[in-house]
Chains A and B, each alone.
Chain A
């Protein structure tokens, strides 16, 4: 998969290879989430292009991008709070399998949707909590649900916006393990502040500051980059 030529913010350009796990780091306000919003179609860039698997997808709607194999989680949880955990996932599976237009058959008649929902819930460690309304889940569980919803659509490219933000140490560890265990065929773009998480997961790191790429390279290169240490890691150069 080629994901290249993204020109947004101030001449931000990045290219991510299929199966790559790329971390995007940078101080607050660097434009990381904006970058995600442009890629996922929530925002249209003023200039520049987004390409997904050599296909021009600039300014596509979010629902179209999802069908093209892009899923994302949100920095702030974006769940169906009054619905059960199971229903949160089931809605995503139902959309992915294109069963949403059926208006007469009840939802339980769709075996494939329900089996896939069960698999996604089990993999996300949420099966035992499936009957609980999403709002009754702990914060960590809600983050897991957020990711389970994104994974329900069998994406090729997954954007994770601060997947471990606000989690306890134990929850972070288990989340990092879950993300690490994802298929290597899945391309990951991760915004993350926690450096241990970044170094545990990323193949490559891009550093943004004030809307510009200030470094891009292997974790070790970035770790020792003087400019990055100065502006981001908060150490004197």
Chain B
């Protein structure tokens, strides 16, 4: 019994987000394949698949809201890799959303190329170049300087989007993005079909990132977050690892950008500005950093709350939302998932004593 108790405490202690479920390798083959994820979580997928039909009458905007939640979940999960796992506070993550979004948008509007796979490939390539350039510069610094450099990079890209009118549409943005094609002649129309495509993409991204954070590379990022000097002393080239994290996070953010532009059928400099980067950080903290699931919860609750509040209090909703978040960040450590974990561990301790 004593041994089991130790395991329980390890899995659900207050530090669980960083160390969660790491001590013991899962035994079930399904769970091993899922990177340690409890297969029970997969039940959410069929629920999300039927969601649009279930809510079609009661909540007609539901599909649109759900799609944007999924798209932004990819974005905030990718930010969590940097912020929560590697401990790199990026405040310019929207730059990568923009690189993906604008690349796909320009291909679709200016070149009539709306093939999803080609757009994804192009968006990912652009984001990779961006991540490499910014990573090599910003990773020479740390802390506030790192933060400022990421912020400056994003502002720079947003300025390019603003000034390069003939290509990006400037202030007016880039309207008229076509529906994406899966292969020539088969496009995915707006609404439920696109929602399902986004759902599939989000599940795929989550799966890849979840495997990544439980891989040797992901574990090394956590080690760097915890104690970088020690990681160097045991043989890690930590700058290379951080650059890798930067690249992966940029790639997933650009996937979110491509999915965003095909969903919104429009992109403008506002979509890649500081507000978006800042909101994403908030969503990650709200849900619980270094958990991947936390950012999904954070994104979901933020966007739903925003929707509800903006319809109830036109004009003042931002004030109310802001106040809520100040309270949350001040008093609720570990975000929504942190609360859930503490409730769970409270139950376990009561149950076992």
Q: Which residues of A contact B (CB under 8 A)?
A: 40, 42, 61-63, 66-67, 71-72, 74, 78-84, 86-87, 90-92, 94-96, 99-110, 113-114, 130-133, 149-150, 152-153
Contact = CB atoms under 8 A, between A and B. Distances in A.
B144 interface: no
A61 B223 CA distance: 18
Contact of B220 (A71, A94, A131): A94
Interface stretch (B96-104, B207-215, B294-302): B207-215
B216 A153 contact: no
Interface residues of B, number: 42
B25 interface: yes
Contacts of B214: 106-107
Contacts of B35: 106
A227 B220 CA distance: 48
A102 B227 contact: no
Which of B219, B223, B233 gathers most chain A CB within 10 Å?
Answer: B233
Interface of B: 6-7, 10, 13, 15, 18-19, 22-26, 32, 35-36, 208, 211-212, 214-220, 222-223, 226-227, 229-238, 241, 244, 248
Given A66-B235, A91-B231, A133-B19, A100 B220 contact: yes
Given A80-B227, A87-B219, A103 B212 contact: yes
A9 to B, nearest CB: 21
Given A62-B233, A63-B236, A131 B212 contact: no
Contact of B234 (A66, A84, A109): A66
A150 B230 CA distance: 10
Nearest to A84: B23
Given A95-B236, A131-B6, 13 more contacts: A66-B234, A80-B222, A82-B18, A83-B223, A87-B19, A95-B234, A100-B220, A101-B216, A104-B212, A104-B215, A105-B211, A106-B36, A108-B25
Nearest to B214: A106
Given A84-B10, A106-B32, A133-B10, A90 B227 contact: no
Contact of B232 (A63, A79, A80, A105): A63
Contacts of B219: 87, 90-91, 94, 107
Shortest 9 CB-CB contacts between residues of A and residues of B: A108-B25, A66-B235, A95-B235, A103-B217, A80-B226, A92-B234, A106-B214, A82-B15, A131-B23
A94 B241 CA distance: 14
A86 B24 CA distance: 10
Contacts of B24: 131
Nearest to B238: A63
